[in-house]
């Protein structure tokens, strides 16, 4: 069957877009998920919506699984073809079709790199705010499919808040357009809303209409050191209650600070602190930003001599490099680790982190926690260290269940931005009722009756 499909794909698409060489397939067998791999039988590198449509139509007719893939930076195995078949890569559909300044809309193909869209918008004085830490490499299609977020979510929201319209292809090959360059739309179901966060299981996105906003003229980045995480989160509350919403409000707990300062030398100021808040303030004038800074200093009751204000682009980079280098530092420290991204109500962060730390201590595990203090999204990385591989694999399910149960018990949920993919699917029933899962299955069946799109993901 696969051989026949390969022949048909070659006949119906440009043959150079359809690949089967083992070394090329190997390159598509991984994303950024630790310790997980699955190679496809065939790789299709689509260059336009027609290629996507033809691929899906032929795969549907032959009942062969198709896994859409953007840039492969996902961390829950979403782009891995766990049931083999075809990987449909959108990496070549990467054009920024238009930055429409008058309507403040970007029209882009799904493989466009998020950071490139931001730069193109900025050249026109506009801003595309969602900023996953992977923005220099991830694709906008992957962001939509994962519902990606980033540090700026506290002020500007996540990917879902910027989707005005989508063009997508159903598994039978039909092309659907919903929304467009319009800010309001009450016409029928919000089909784009259903696709956001659907992790490539419902349709393949081929064009995206993104809302842009005027870019702030001034930004200021500061690092506030605290003795404890409790103090840092109290400061977050005080800042927001004083009517300052920073563009970003990130926290790092002590173990995260120590690990980064160990591996990324000279990067992190105030490395002896119990917790850090990394804050970005933005606005239209320097006076406005400085007034916000003053409010923050007073609300957070911080000694101005202790805080670090980035005065130059290199100092700014120094601050954010520390935040972005956590993953790299953990890899340098021990190679293997498990990465979770629970969300809890913001005020619950200190207790959640403290309780988890006590649990990890009891289990003799090292962990690093950091995340988005403004929106309650806590990244929890657990280090394998010297634990034998088999033992580590055996203990992980129990540890995950414990983490998720604690997040749910304090009113949160099991993932804030990385999605379910393969890694969390058996835990979905902890977070969603059986009725909610049944409804989701019926939505899946309506889009994909042959169940060919990204099988093995989301559903337990």
Ligand X SMILES: Cc1cc2nc3c(=O)[nH]c(=O)nc-3n(C[C@H](O)[C@H](O)[C@H](O)COP(=O)(O)OP(=O)(O)OC[C@H]3O[C@@H](n4cnc5c(N)ncnc54)[C@H](O)[C@@H]3O)c2cc1C
Asked if 417 interacts with ligand X (CB under 6 A), we say yes
Residue count at the site for ligand X (CB under 6 A)? 36
Q: Rounded distance, CA 160 to CA 193, Å?
A: 7
CB of 304 to ligand X, least distance (A): 30
CB of 156 to ligand X, least distance (A): 13
The alpha carbon of residue 426 and the mean position of all alpha carbons in its chain are separated, in whole angstroms, by 20
Question: Is residue 440 classed as helix, strand or coil in its secondary structure?
Answer: helix
Q: Rounded distance, CA 243 to CA 236, Å?
A: 11
Asked if 74 interacts with ligand X (CB under 6 A), we say yes
Can you tell me which of 17, 45, 57, 69 binds ligand X, judged by CB under 6 A?
Answer: 69
Are 209 and 166 within 8 A, CB to CB? yes
Query: Beta strands of 284-395 (E only): which ranges?
Result: 308-309, 337-343, 366-372, 377-383
CB of 23 to ligand X, least distance (A): 20
Can you tell me which of 53, 60, 73, 231 binds ligand X, judged by CB under 6 A?
Answer: 73
Residue 66 or 307 with smaller CB distance to ligand X: 66
Q: String of b and e for 277-316 (b: at least 16 CB within 10 Å)? A: bbbbbbbeeeeebeebbebbbebbebeeeebbebeeeeeb
Can you tell me which of 86, 87, 145, 289 binds ligand X, judged by CB under 6 A?
Answer: 145
Residue 158 or 254 with smaller CB distance to ligand X: 158
Asked if 133 interacts with ligand X (CB under 6 A), we say yes
Applying CB under 6 A, which part among 2-10, 146-154, 274-282, 330-338 lies near ligand X? 146-154
Question: Is residue 211 classed as helix, strand or coil in its secondary structure?
Answer: strand
Residue 134 or 231 with smaller CB distance to ligand X: 134
Asked if 215 interacts with ligand X (CB under 6 A), we say no
Applying CB under 6 A, which part among 67-75, 178-186, 210-218, 291-299 lies near ligand X? 67-75
Asked if 165 interacts with ligand X (CB under 6 A), we say no
Asked if 418 interacts with ligand X (CB under 6 A), we say yes
Closest alpha carbon to 178 in 196, 164, 162: 164
Query: How far apart, in Å, do the first and last CA atoms of the chain sit?
Result: 27
Site string for ligand X, 13-32 (x = CB under 6 A): ------------------xx
Residue 51 or 199 with smaller CB distance to ligand X: 199
Bridge partners (DSSP) of residue 127 are 213
Q: C-alpha distances in angstroms, 58 versus 8, 128, 351? A: 8, 36, 52
Applying CB under 6 A, which part among 53-61, 131-139, 307-315, 432-440 lies near ligand X? 131-139
Residue 177 has which token pair? 């357009």
Query: Beta strands of 58-144 (E only): which ranges?
Result: 66-69, 86-89, 96-100, 105-108, 126-127
Interface residue list for ligand X (CB under 6 A): 31-32, 67-75, 78-79, 90, 110, 132-134, 138-139, 141-143, 145-146, 148-150, 199-200, 204-205, 327, 417-418, 454
């Amino acid at each position: 069957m696969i051989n026949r499909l390969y022949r048909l794909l070659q006949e119906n698409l440009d043959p150079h877009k359809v690949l089967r060489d083992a070394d090329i397939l190997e390159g598509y067998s991984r994303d950024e998920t630790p310790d997980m791999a699955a190679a496809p039988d065939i790789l299709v590198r689509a260059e336009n919506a027609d290629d996507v449509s033809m691929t899906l139509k032929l795969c549907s007719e032959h009942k062969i699984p198709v896994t859409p893939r953007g840039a492969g930076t996902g961390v829950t195995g979403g782009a891995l073809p766990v049931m083999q078949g075809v990987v449909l890569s959108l990496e070549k559909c990467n054009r920024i079709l238009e930055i429409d300044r008058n309507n403040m809309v970007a029209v882009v193909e799904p493989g466009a790199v998020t950071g490139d869209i931001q730069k193109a918008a900025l050249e026109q004085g506009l801003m595309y705010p969602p900023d996953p830490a992977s923005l220099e490499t991830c694709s906008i299609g992957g962001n939509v499919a994962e519902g990606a977020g980033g540090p700026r979510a506290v002020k500007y929201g996540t990917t879902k808040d910027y989707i005005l319209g989508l063009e997508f292809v159903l598994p039978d090959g039909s092309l659907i357009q919903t929304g467009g360059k319009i800010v309001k739309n009450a016409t029928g179901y919000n089909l784009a809303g259903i696709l956001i966060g659907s992790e490539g299981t419902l349709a393949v996105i081929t064009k995206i209409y993104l809302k842009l906003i005027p870019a702030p003229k001034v930004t200021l980045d500061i690092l506030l050191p605290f003795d404890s995480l409790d103090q840092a989160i109290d400061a977050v509350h005080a800042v927001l209650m004083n009517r300052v919403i920073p563009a970003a409000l990130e926290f790092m707990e002590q173990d995260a600070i120590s690990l980064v300062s160990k591996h990324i030398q000279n990067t992190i100021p105030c490395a002896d602190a119990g917790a850090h808040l990394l804050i970005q303030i933005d606005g239209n004038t320097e006076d406005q930003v400085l007034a916000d800074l003053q409010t923050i200093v007073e609300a957070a009751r911080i000694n101005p001599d202790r805080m670090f204000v980035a005065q130059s682009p290199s100092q700014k980079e120094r601050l954010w490099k520390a935040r972005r280098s956590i993953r790299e530092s953990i890899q340098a420290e021990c190679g293997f680790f498990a990465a979770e991204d629970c969300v809890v109500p913001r005020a619950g962060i200190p207790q959640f982190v403290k309780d988890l730390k006590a649990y990890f201590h009891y289990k003799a595990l090292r962990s690093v926690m950091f995340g988005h203090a403004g929106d309650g999204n806590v990244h929890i990385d657990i280090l394998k260290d010297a634990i034998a591989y088999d033992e580590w694999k055996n203990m992980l399910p129990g540890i995950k269940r414990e983490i998720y149960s604690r997040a749910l018990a304090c009113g949160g949920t099991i993932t804030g931005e990385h999605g379910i993919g393969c890694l969390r699917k058996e835990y979905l029933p902890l977070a969603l009722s059986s009725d909610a899962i049944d409804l989701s299955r019926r939505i899946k069946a309506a889009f994909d009756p042959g169940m060919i799109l990204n099988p093995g993901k989301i559903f337990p």
